[in-house]
Amino acid sequence: MAFICSKGNLDMAYPALIMGNAALGEGVEVHIFFTFWGLDIVNTKTNDKLKFTLSGNTAMHMPDLGRIKPGLEHVSMPQVLGNLPGMTGYATRMMNKQMEEQEIPTVPEFLDLLQASGAHMYACRLTYDMMKLLEADLHPGVEGVISAGDFIDIAEGAQVVFV
């Protein structure tokens, strides 16, 4: 299976990491291409600080609100809340806590796990150059900085999942 990670938000980092890990556990070969904002997932200067924001996410609910009034836990949070100072930090802490409760590893630990399980990970050459990244900052599980064409070559015939 091949995954393309194009987003650098905390909530958009997990899908490919979780599915890739599941695929490895089933004996499936896994290749992950990190491109554009997805490079933040493998950049060790950023991957322990990925953030989750309410802004633009209409599926944002607060399970705890149900204790105040039943039904409130299903209500979509007003979008304006996402723009309040400190709200992104708060939402990020909340999400990290919820993931921890599910025993989901942090993003850096997840990359260690994937590397040990045999995942092949690559950084996108174009965005790597565009964002002026350093090879020393990449997670050691990243095998190389490759072009889109190289990845297409690798992924030929695979199931490709774009995140």
Which residues are near another protein by CB under 8 A?
18, 21-22, 25-27, 102-105, 113, 116-118
Judged by beta carbon, residue 58 or residue 102, the one nearer another protein is 102
* Tokens describing residue 96: 């990290």
| Distance separating alpha carbons of residues 21 and 90, to the nearest angstrom | 28
Quick one: 69 exposed, middle or buried, by C-beta within 10 A (0-12, 13-18, 19+)?
exposed
| Distance separating alpha carbons of residues 110 and 161, to the nearest angstrom | 18
| Least distance to another protein, CB of residue 56, Å | 26
Judged by beta carbon, residue 26 or residue 156, the one nearer another protein is 26
| Least distance to another protein, CB of residue 141, Å | 12
| Least distance to another protein, CB of residue 21, Å | 6
Whether the CB-CB separation of 31 and 2 falls below 8 Å is answered with yes
| Least distance to another protein, CB of residue 138, Å | 20
User: Which residues make beta-bridge pairs with 159?
Assistant: none
Judged by beta carbon, residue 89 or residue 118, the one nearer another protein is 118
| Distance separating alpha carbons of residues 21 and 2, to the nearest angstrom | 12
Judged by beta carbon, residue 62 or residue 104, the one nearer another protein is 104
| Tokens 């350093």 sit on residue | 134
